[in-house]
A and B are shown apart, each in its own frame.
Chain A
């Protein structure tokens, strides 16, 4: 006469108890860092979750005289005006010669609402929080605006700190002052 399934299960439980095999422990939920992988002026960066308003295609621009070189112009966007800044000129201090930047990220902060051109866009990424590297060397032009980063497929992705960026005095004043320059605006 054979044993039933319940009897077999009980037998297995007894055998495990006899062998003192501990039950598999459940892994503790790990804290993750979520952000969007994109690039500014060719430098791969991460923007943290909630830092971005949205990503849009670079709209048609109207140049604004008397502004700094990184101010490409102002575009009509969702019933309002959206200033578009050049990420290349803002960080590299020189215009990008090549294919036009097709996308820009929209950042909204109290008192600041602008779009910054992007060199490329990847996707949203999720990293374990403990994998964050804070002492990895970063491109010198971005070193003042980053806050560590993560390694992804052998490449270091620095986390762009929007708060540091918007706190920069250079960004807070778009006026060119006495010396007006249109340098770089024609290429964007």
Chain B
């Protein structure tokens, strides 16, 4: 036990008093003194010593008490600062009960705070999860809003496409109708062409008959011309023989010579004309034959044209049937486009409703998020307040780890939208189209 300076003084004073008493007693043995003197000599110091001892004891008791009170005060100061880990020493007998009560009280406070902290931590974690879920809901709501906007845009585009399809089908229907009318006109034209070709064939056949008759006449003319030519040759022979005989007759044959030469001159002209006639008749015959062949070719061509007309007629009928089928297809496409447009409009309306509901959900989620944030702030404040109550001694290492864990709990923002972006997302109106 460590002794302080006053105790040493008390011991010194006691030892001095004891030494005085011993000295007095020795002096008495050595000298005879009166009883009163002795009593005075011995009683006074004794009383003084007793008084001193009493004072000293009282003083020590006061100091002891003050020490206990100081310890209690110190502990209360720490407790007032929130340090509930303080334990008031219970060695001081004066303040032992108070210390025990204070310790029991702090013990109960620690248990109470511990009992508060544990569910509070659980609640905080739950609120954090709710906040994350609400944030996720907001994000999902925004994504859903974007998807709805895109779907609405797609539906609008679908409506526009359906309208264009309807326009195109209407134009195609008109074109098909025009084609059908033209095919009908072509059909009538083929009938007229067929009739005209038949007339041409009959005319050509009649002309061919006339040409054959003409060829026969030309043949007879040719025969006549050849006969005339043969007669000319005979006359030429007669003229030649006349001249020969006139030569033989000498002077008497001169008149016959003149006659023969005159016949020869006539024959020259007749022969030239006859040759021209024969040549021209032959040319006429060739022309007639060419005409006949041409007419036969014409008849063959007309027959071919009639075959082509028949084929054309069949083709036109097929085209007509094809045009009718195309018209039906166009009509069905038009109906399908109309139904598609109606469906797209319904889908557009549904998308609008979904978008509005989603906006409401987003608003609710945002409100929830705001509330959760506020609650988290409050919980954080409460946690900070509770954390001011030191209920357990924790090491520096544990404190560092706890700080790291707190940092890990901080979530990274998924995406930070600017105010204008959020307004644009919320204020996006679905453009409606009508068919």
A-side residues, CB < 8 A to B, are 36, 49-50, 52-57, 102-103, 120-124
Contacts and interface: CB of A to CB of B under 8 A. Distances in A.
Interface stretch (B55-63, B234-242, B287-295, B344-352): B234-242
A49 B261 CA distance: 13
Contacts of B240: 36, 52, 54-55, 121, 123-124
Nearest to B267: A123
A102 B247 CA distance: 25
Contact of B260 (A53, A57, A124): A124
A57 to B, nearest CB: 8
Interface of B: 230, 233, 236-237, 239-241, 243-245, 247, 260-261, 264, 267-268, 271
Given A123-B264, A123-B268, A124-B264, A55 B237 contact: yes
A53 B244 contact: yes
28 contacts: A49-B247, A50-B247, A52-B240, A53-B244, A54-B241, A54-B245, A55-B237, A55-B240, A55-B241, A56-B237, A102-B230, A102-B233, A103-B233, A120-B233, A121-B233, A121-B236, A121-B240, A122-B236, A122-B271, A123-B236, A123-B239, A123-B267, A123-B268, A123-B271, A124-B240, A124-B243, A124-B261, A124-B264
B278 to A, nearest CB: 13
The A contact surface, by secondary structure, is strand
Given A121-B240, A123-B264, A123-B268, 7 more contacts: A52-B244, A55-B237, A120-B233, A121-B237, A122-B236, A124-B240, A124-B261
Contacts of A55: 237, 240-241
Contacts of A54: 240-241, 244-245
Contacts of A120: 233
A124 B264 CA distance: 7
A140 to B, nearest CB: 28
B239 A124 contact: yes
A149 to B, nearest CB: 19
Contacts of A49: 247
Contacts of B241: 54-55
Nearest to A50: B247
Contacts of A53: 244
A148 B255 CA distance: 31
Nearest to A34: B243
A103 B244 contact: no
3 closest pairs, A vs B, by CB?
A123-B264, A55-B237, A54-B241
Nearest to B243: A124
Contacts of B230: 102
A106 to B, nearest CB: 10
Nearest to B230: A102
A54 B244 CA distance: 7
